Each structure stands twice: as structure tokens, then as C-alpha cells.
Structure 1
């Protein structure tokens, strides 16, 4: 699992695959040329006719141009990565590295370079009959395609560095994770997420299983954990949820029997622990990235309110997606026996992750306060859960309290109070309707 994530966001795997394909193409083209009669190509001298010296020269120029373009592409990519980390947040670097377009362009340039070298090596004589004409023609076509890809790559990088592209990409990845992790609608009986995380487990004696390494919990194999609990006849209680940091030697999970060394290794193998949070099973990681971009935009060095408001809009779209979903993880049973007690964030945790630091950093920015209140009002309209409406109402009051402390002009305060009243009205009236 770790290997699959590493290659997904690597700048070497897809280029290596394309380069290997170029090697196969070169060998196949040379073999094809050896089976074609030179006389059969004579009707198209403008396409296949060239001397051995001319073919070597063209292949040498093409190979030199492609490796130069590959170096240029790497340089531009590294420059964009550094700009993105400095301008927005270091956590968006993986978004750039995971671009298949960038990886494909790098692969085509390096692959064409390798292709030209192999074909040039096959030209051993000085007569036209010793020239692999079809292979040389393919090299010409690949070089022309490389020139077109360079223009495409420049346009792609210029577009991808725009904040709107970055924010929408992070939001799209997060929304996909929401659909994958929280597919079920919120039911009345599941209204209070906290109920699902509590239970009558006092009769169990819990034994801690320590983590074998330090880092962030990126993913968890839930099926493997359930199968483990079945095979060892134990109940497992998660002590850390995906997205949290775990320290080596401290408790990762608890079970109802003293763990052996083999059990400890197996339980640790179900978790993917890395140096950073990822969005694959961690909705909070995507929310954190958008919040960080907003915080960076509101910093005195940048002071870009428009970008901060854009981040709030995308954060609100994620929260609106979460509002009608059941977020609390399911307990897992087998034949009536409780086997896995999960742990995970609730709606209030996501709400705090999205808006808390933005609210605290606004520092009297009326536009930020107003957009936060508008987002919370919209959020209150799309959920009928009393507990979640209470969380939203608490956020509304906190935003208005911060505004009163930081905004000095009465007209601006009046505008904020108007939005506060509307947001609280949505929370109270619709909750009462239940």
C-alpha cells in the first residue's frame, strides 16, 4: 500500500514506464526495418529516404534536444514546487507531484532521448541500405510531438500554479474521499455522533498494542483488522484515528488479550504510517490544506483576502457535503459479538478544522467574518441534526464575538450582526421543527 502511494505521487515511476516502452518501440522498429525491403520504401523518399550520415546527424540532434527539454521540464517543475510551497502551503507539493500530465511529459522527453540513442546505435554502416528508415521516421515524429508537448507543458504549469486551480483540485480530492469514507446518509437514530463512539465496554480488560514507528496514520485496512479480530477471538479498540500522529512505543490500538510479538507486528501492518497526512482516507487532511492556504493568504506578507474567501467557499462546499452524512464510524460485529470499536472525527471536529484558525486570524477583516457567517448559515440550512446545528451555532457565536473584539466601525459591526442573526435563526428554527 505504501509503495502504491509513493509511485502515485512520484516523478520517476510513470517516466520510467514510458522510457521502458520507448526501448521496446525502438527494438521493434529496428526489427521491422530488418524485414522490410528497401525498394518497397523508394516511392516515399521524402519520408524514408536518408543517408546513414544524415540519419545519425538527425538522431543526434533529436536526442540532444530531448534531453535538454527534459532538463528544462525538471527545472520548471522544481521551480513551481518551490513557489507553491512558499506562496500557498508546503502541503500542496503532493498535488503538483501527483499530476499525470507532468509525469507523462517528462516520460516522453526521456523516452524519446533513449529511443534515439538505441536507433542511432543500430546504424553501423555508411550506405543507405544500413539505415533503419522506419525507426528514423518514428524518431522524427516523436521529436515533433515533443516540441508540441513543450508548449502544452508550459501552459499546464502556468495554469496549475494559479490558486484557483490548486484550491479546486484539493477540494475535488477531498470530496471524493468524503464519498468513499462517508457514503451513508445521517439517520435520526444516528443523529448524535458521540453515541457511536461510546459503548458498554467496561467488562473488557484492555491490553495496549504499541506502535512500532512514529508518524501520521495515513490509511487503515479495516477488513484486515476485522479478520484479525475474528481469527484471534479478540475485540480491538482503536486508540488513534486516521490523520492523528502516533509515537513509537505508545499505544496504537488496544485488544482484549495480552498481545504477542506476532500480534503486535500484524496489527501495526494494518496501518500505513508516514511523515505527513494524506487525503486518501483522511478528509481532515484536505480541509487542513485549504485552511492553510487561507491562513497564508491572510498573513501580513501576502494580505490576499480574495484567496482566503475562495478557500472559505471551497471549505463550505466540503462541509455541506459532510452535513447530511453519517460521519461516526460503524462498530463491527460478527455473530452478535463486538469485534472492532473504531475511532474517528465527528462533524464538530471537521467544523473546527475548517473555520477555527481562519476566524482567529481574520484580525478585523470584515469580508472574512461575513463570508464565514454566510457559509455557516448555508451549512445550517442543509442539515436537520440538532447536535450539528448546535455546533454550527457555536461557530456563529464565536465568529461574531471575534468580530466585536476586532472591528471598530459601527456600520461594519451592524452588517456582521445582521448575518449573525440570520445564521442563528436557521439553526434555531429548523432544529425546533424537528
Structure 2
């Protein structure tokens, strides 16, 4: 049974994109150590050949050669030392990471495992241990040695240097600033790959030009159903469009990447245009469903990591970390805003509608990125002002586009404040930030109405007069 499953898994693995393959391979800690272990075996073969087969002792000065007993002592000592160093290093690091992940996000461990420095460090440790251990099996009492012990010593020195570099790397990586920056860059790569490389060439820029092709009769659609529940991990949009063009179909996706698809529910619907028979299995195979979410195409999942760090920071009374993470989310939302048009239609090269998406608009990304943080910061006026500053920055970037969703989210955030008393200084910061945003988005009248409503909640007459003096109303 195992032999039957292996070829099927290999065939499935070959069909994956390069990024999927990389995430699957390097999401485990055994791939790089195997590679380095194999390289250490090659070096072992070379050293053994030079020391035992070619009798290299004849060509090397006696002062540089090492006798059997000393060689064995060196290798035995180094074997135990490298193993102890490897165990100590990764036990300590994983203990620290476990604590850190509880404080911020359990998904930090995934980022740590995929980090190239982590992979290479473990590979060097395991490769060095493999070399010095296997060398013990090739020692000959009648021979003198040079290459075997010298390479073992060099491996140990490399291991020590790697240990120092790795500890420095961990100290830097565990700083929240660097960690969130790493998460943001990873999310930006996901957004760029999905929204630009895969979909942008096929997006319909003007939705009105293609709406006449959208099928109106839903009863004529044929459906393909989910065979096994799970998360939508990836959708092969390019091949989906090409196959739909061959079969002359229009396809509507009922789930987007990251959604949980329930068994026996419609995965997609299609409208055949005179085709006699459609191979539904090929379309089903282009949508990969798995037990867990991954970051190949799932922008929401990538955003959620940063959101979780911000929420944990708020709960831990760490406003600096929360603020920094909110800025990273804002930066990522700006990049998403600049990457693509948010239209639900994908067409082939001839302009014929092929795919109707369960599409996210920019306001949805705003909600995903900031709504949970807004909820947990609703009793903190300072963090609320920081959220408004981020929204103002986004509005500046989107000035040529529709800024209404950004203003609406700012109103939604402001009216969610649950504080009975706000000091006049805090109100001044809040209202001034809102005013700047209203000017940028062109919603000055709405700002005036919003602030008047909020002013009515001020019970202290002196506070109300002070606010009216600092922020005059009725000027719009």
C-alpha cells in the first residue's frame, strides 16, 4: 500500500509550483541536513582515499602526520563535542522560540524552520557530526593520518564559527521589529506572485466591458463538488484559463484561496458553450485542497500572522510592538493596493470571459488587516490614533483611486471607541488626524457630522468648549 501511495505523492509533488515545492521541502528540518550529510560523506571518501589508498604519508613531512591513537582520540572527542553542541544549541533555541510563540504567534515556528540560516546551521552541525563519526570506522592501526584528522578539526572550527553566527542571528531574528519585517516581506512576495505574476495579465480592467458575457441563468450551470473537506491551498489560474479556453467554458469559483471548503458543496460551476463532454477531473485537480492553510497564494493567512502579533502585543500591554506591527500592516496594505485592479473577472488573451472569482476588494483587505486590531484597541485612544494615521497614509497613496472605503473604515474605527472619558489632548489628536484624513479623501462634510456626534457625548462643559476652540466646526 505504501509503495502505491509513494508514486502518486511524487507525481503530485512534481505538479506543484517552485514556491510550493520550496515551502513543502524546507518546511521540514531534515532536507538541508541530508544534503550536508551527503556532502560530508563525499569529503570522507576523499579523505580516506588520500590517507589510506594513496599512502599520502610518504609525501607529507612526519611532523604533520598523526598516529592512529591520537587520531582516534581526536575523532572520539570531536564526535561527542559536536553532538553535545548541536543538542544544546537547538534545545535552547526551540525553548526560547516556544516561549516567544506563546507570547506572539505560534506561526513564528514555521518562519524559523524555513529560515535559511536555521537550515544551514543544522546542516553544518549534522554534516560535521556525520563526518567525524564515520571516520572512526576507517582508522587503521598500521597507518598514519593527515587529511582525516585535519578535515575533522576544520569541520569543528566551522561548527564553532557557525554556532557563534547562529546565536547572533537568533538574537537579531527574535527582535520583534526584525520578525515583523520578515513576515511583511514574506506576505508581499505572496501578494506579488498571486496578484501580479499569476492573475494581473488576465484581469479585466474595465468590468463594464465584459458584464454582457456574465451568465445570467444559474440553473444552466454545471457544478463540480468538493470531494473531501479542507482548505483551498492553491488555484492554478493560468492553466484553468487555458483549459477553459480550449473547452469554451465560463467558470465561476465558489471559494477563494484560504477558504475552508466543505465536502459535497459546489467547488466551482461552469457554463459549457456547445461542448459535448467535459473532463471535470482536470479542473478539480487544478484546485488543491489540503488539511492546513499555506502561504503560497493565501494573502489573508500571511496578513493574519502580523495581526496576531499586534493583538498579542496589545494584550501584553506592549504598545510599542503593537504600533510597529500596525505600521507593517499598513505598509503591506499599501503594496497590495498598488499591485492590482480588484475586479472579479479573468479573461483569456482574446478578451473572452473565462473565470468569475469569489473576489476580495481593497476594503476587504482593510478589514482583514485592521478590524481585529481595532476591536482589541477600542479602549485605547492612542492605538486608535495610530490606526487612523496608517489609514491616512493609505489614503494618500490611493488618492487617484476611490478613497471612500478608507474613510469608511476610519469612521468605523473612531466610532468603536469605548471610553467614557477622553482627555482633551487625546481628543485633539484624534480629531486632527481625522481632519487631515477627511481633507485627503474629500470627506470634509462627513468629518464635520462625525465630530458633532462625538461632541455630544462630552458631559464636561469646559472640555467641550476647549475642543470647540481648538477644532472649530461648521467650516465646511
What is the aligned counterpart of 1:115 among 131, 136, 156?
131
What is the aligned counterpart of 1:381 among 393, 396, 407?
396
> Is 1:276 equivalent to 2:289 in the alignment?
no
Further displaced range: 154-163 or 222-231: 222-231
Alpha carbons of structure 1 residues 178 and 424: separation in structure 2 relative to 1, 3 Å: same
- CA–CA distance in structure 1, aligned partners of residues 314 and 276 of structure 2: 51
Query: Could you say what secondary structure the match of 1:279 adopts?
Result: coil
- CA–CA distance in structure 2, aligned partners of residues 356 and 85 of structure 1: 22
What is the aligned counterpart of 1:343 among 337, 343, 358?
358
What is the aligned counterpart of 1:248 among 243, 260, 263?
263
**How far is the alpha carbon of 1:289 from its aligned partner?**
1.0
Further displaced range: 400-409 or 420-429: 400-409
What is the aligned counterpart of 2:319 among 305, 310, 331?
305
What TM-score, normalized to structure 1? 0.87
1:214-229 matches, within 5 Å, as 214-229=229-244
Alpha carbons of structure 1 residues 139 and 123: separation in structure 2 relative to 1, 3 Å: same
Verify the 8 A CA contact 1:181 1:281 in the aligned structure 2.
Answer: yes
- CA–CA distance in structure 1, aligned partners of residues 420 and 283 of structure 2: 49
- CA–CA distance in structure 2, aligned partners of residues 195 and 423 of structure 1: 33
- CA–CA distance in structure 2, aligned partners of residues 379 and 106 of structure 1: 41
Give the equivalent residue in structure 2 for 1:56: 72
Query: What does the per-residue CA deviation read over 1:354-380, in whole Å, with 9 as the maximum and x for residues that have no partner?
Result: 111111111321221111111111111
- CA–CA distance in structure 1, aligned partners of residues 310 and 376 of structure 2: 10
Alpha carbons of structure 1 residues 198 and 250: separation in structure 2 relative to 1, 3 Å: farther
What is the aligned counterpart of 2:215 among 201, 224, 229?
201
1:64-143 matches, within 5 Å, as 64-124=80-140, 126-127=141-142, 130-143=143-156
- CA–CA distance in structure 2, aligned partners of residues 351 and 197 of structure 1: 26
> Is 1:179 equivalent to 2:195 in the alignment?
no
Query: Could you say what secondary structure the match of 2:415 adopts?
Result: helix
| Runs of 5+ consecutive residues of structure 2 not aligned to the other structure | 1-15, 445-476
| Runs of 5+ consecutive residues of structure 1 not aligned to the other structure | none
What is the aligned counterpart of 1:23 among 29, 33, 41?
41
Give the equivalent residue in structure 1 for 2:59: 40
Query: What is the CA RMSD across the aligned residues, in angstroms?
Result: 3.0
1:151-190 matches, within 5 Å, as 151-183=164-196
What is the aligned counterpart of 1:427 among 428, 441, 444?
441
Query: What does the per-residue CA deviation read over 1:62-88, in whole Å, with 9 as the maximum and x for residues that have no partner?
Result: 111112222223313422331232011
Alpha carbons of structure 1 residues 322 and 303: separation in structure 2 relative to 1, 3 Å: same
Verify the 8 A CA contact 1:333 1:340 in the aligned structure 2.
Answer: no
Alpha carbons of structure 1 residues 18 and 149: separation in structure 2 relative to 1, 3 Å: same
Verify the 8 A CA contact 2:66 2:145 in the aligned structure 1.
Answer: no
Verify the 8 A CA contact 1:215 1:245 in the aligned structure 2.
Answer: yes
Give the equivalent residue in structure 1 for 2:409: 395
Alpha carbons of structure 1 residues 13 and 37: separation in structure 2 relative to 1, 3 Å: closer
- CA–CA distance in structure 2, aligned partners of residues 383 and 198 of structure 1: 29
Verify the 8 A CA contact 2:228 2:262 in the aligned structure 1.
Answer: yes
- CA–CA distance in structure 1, aligned partners of residues 289 and 91 of structure 2: 31
- CA–CA distance in structure 2, aligned partners of residues 176 and 367 of structure 1: 31
Verify the 8 A CA contact 1:328 1:345 in the aligned structure 2.
Answer: yes
Give the equivalent residue in structure 1 for 2:308: 292
- CA–CA distance in structure 1, aligned partners of residues 209 and 183 of structure 2: 31
**How far is the alpha carbon of 1:295 from its aligned partner?**
0.7
> Is 1:331 equivalent to 2:358 in the alignment?
no
**How far is the alpha carbon of 1:313 from its aligned partner?**
0.5
- CA–CA distance in structure 2, aligned partners of residues 407 and 294 of structure 1: 25
- CA–CA distance in structure 1, aligned partners of residues 208 and 175 of structure 2: 40
Give the equivalent residue in structure 1 for 2:330: 316
Verify the 8 A CA contact 1:63 1:117 in the aligned structure 2.
Answer: yes
> Is 1:5 equivalent to 2:23 in the alignment?
yes
